[in-house]
Amino acid sequence: MKIKKWRADLQALLFLLPFLAVYLIFTIWPMLKGLQMNFYKWTLIKKMKYIGFDNYSRMFHDSDFWSSLWHSTIFVMITTPTMIALAILLAVIANRKSRLQKLYRSVFFLPSVLSVAVASFLGLFVFQPYTGFLNGLLHLIGLLPDGKEVFWLTELALSWIALSVLTLWWTVGFNFILYLSAMQEISEDIYEAARLDGANDRQIFWGITLPLLSPITKTITMLQIIASFKVFLQIYVITGGGPLDKTRPVIQYIWQTGFRKNDLGYASTMSYMLFIILLILSGIQFWLNNRKEAV
C-alpha cells in the first residue's frame, strides 16, 4: 500500500512539475529579485550600487507616493461597496424566473470579457466633451443646454465618477456570476418555509438571502479591495492621472518611477510597500471573519 501511495504521489508531482517550473521562473524569482532591488540603485540597464535602506527613507518622505496611495484608497472606497451592492442587485434580477433570465445573465456578464484597453477606450468615447456619447445624449433629451458641456474627465469630482462608473460596468460581471452561483446554492425549501410563515420578498431578502451570501461577500470584498488598489490602465488611458495628478493611482506612480524616470530600485521599494499594505488588510479581514465566526 505504501509503495502504491508513493507511486501515486510521484505521478502527481510529475504532472505538477511543469506548472511549478513556470511559477518559480515567472512569479517567485521576480519577487525575490524585486526584494533585492529594494536595497540598490538599479536602472533599466544595470545594478548600480548598494544603498541599504535609502529607498525606504526616500519613500517615507515622498509626498507624491503617499498622495497617489491616497488616490488609490479613494478609488477603493468608491468602487468596493458600490460593486458589492450592484453585483447583488444584478444577481437577484438574473436569479428570478423570467423569460428574460438568459438575456439578463448574458448582458450583465458580457462587459467583463472585454480587455481593459477596449473598455478604457469605450470610456473615452462615452465621457469626452463635445463629441462624447453621454454629453450628446444629455443634449438630445434637453438636460444639457446647447453650447454647454460637462467636462467629465477634467473636473476632479466628475473624473472620479466617470472612472468608477466605467470600472463598475466593466468588472461587475465576474462578481455577479459569483453571487448568482451562491444564490442558486440556497435551498428553495428555506424560501418556501419563510413564505409559509408569512414573510414577504423584502423580508426574505434581508433575513435569508443576504445572510446566506455572507461567506461569498467576504471573499468578494477582499478581492475587490486588492483589484481596486491595483487599478492602473483605465485611469492612465482616460485621465492620464489628471487633472493635475489628482487621480493618479499608486501603480501609475510606480510605473512612472521605474520606466520613465529609470529608477527600478525605488519603484520596487514602493511595490513592496503596497504588497505589505494589502497583506495587512487581508490579515485584518481574515482576523475579523474568524472572530465573527467564533462569536
Is 212 a member of any domain?
Answer: yes
Is 20 a member of any domain?
Answer: no
Is 115 a member of any domain?
Answer: no
Q: What is the pLDDT of residues 7-65, one digit of tens each?
A: 777 888 888 898 899 999 988 998 898 889 999 898 888 888 889 899 999 999 999 99
Is 45 a member of any domain?
Answer: no
Examine the pLDDT at 98 and tell me if it is beyond 90.
no
Q: Could you give the C-alpha distances from 28 to 8, 45, 140, in angstroms and in order?
A: 27, 22, 54
Instruction: Determine the Cα–Cα distance for residues 118 and 122; give it in Å rounded to an integer.
Output: 6
Domain harbouring 182, CATH code: 1.10.3720.10
Is 179 a member of any domain?
Answer: yes
**Buried-state track 123-140, b at ≥16 Cβ within 10 A, e below 16:** bbebbbeeebebbeebee
Examine the pLDDT at 292 and tell me if it is beyond 80.
no
pLDDT recorded at residue 293? 60
Q: What is the pTM of this model?
A: 0.89
Indicate the length of the chain as a whole number: 295
Q: How many domains does the chain have?
A: 1
**Element at 40 (helix H, strand E):** strand 40-42
Domain region containing 94: 54-110+172-294
Round the average pLDDT of the chain to a whole number and report it: 90
pLDDT recorded at residue 290? 76
Q: Could you give the C-alpha distances from 3 to 6, 7, 194, 221, 253, in angstroms and in order?
A: 5, 6, 54, 45, 55
Report the range of poorest mean pLDDT among 53-62, 103-112, 224-233, 285-294: 285-294
Residue in 243, 292, 295, 250 with CA at minimum distance from that of residue 271: 250
Q: Are strands 40-42 and 47-50 parallel, antiparallel or unpaired?
A: antiparallel
Q: With cut-offs at 50, 70 and 90, classify the pLDDT of residue 294.
A: low
Is 96 a member of any domain?
Answer: yes
- Whether the CB-CB separation of 111 and 123 falls below 8 Å is answered with no
Is 244 a member of any domain?
Answer: yes
Q: With cut-offs at 50, 70 and 90, classify the pLDDT of residue 169.
A: very high
Instruction: Determine the Cα–Cα distance for residues 253 and 199; give it in Å rounded to an integer.
Output: 52
Question: Which residues does residue 47 pair with via DSSP β-bridges, in sequence order?
Answer: 42
Radius of gyration of the chain (CA): 24
